[in-house]
Amino acid sequence: MSEGFDSLPWLERLSGVIDADIAKGKPGLPIGYIVAALIRALHEKGVLSGKERDGLFAAWDRVDALHRETSDKELKALREQYPELSASVLGATSDPS
């Protein structure tokens, strides 16, 4: 990362969130954090109005909710199809009975 970017507040916040996720053992692909950081940065720089920022966040929330719902359905289907793997591989909270 270039030296000039190290002092940007939105990038510091983004790095903090990613570092916290890594420390918790869940370092997924941080697309949601990156999109949010970019939207905030564009708003802070005056590129996006408050209405545009809010509209982008609303659109992102809708897409994120759809992805979460789809992922939950797919995971449930996998757990039902492969109950012997659900605790170890598919992230179930307890072993199947």
Encode pLDDT of 3-28 as tens digits. Answer: 455 556 777 877 887 888 788 877 66
Closest by CA to 1, choosing from 23, 21, 18, is 18
* Greater model confidence, 87 or 92: 87
pLDDT at 7: 59
**What pTM value is reported for the model?**
0.56
Cα torsion 78, 84, 88, 92: sign = positive
Cα of 35 vs its chain's centroid, Å: 9
- Over the stretch 26-80, which tens digit does the pLDDT of each residue have? 766 677 778 888 898 899 999 999 999 999 999 988 988 888 888 888 888 888 8
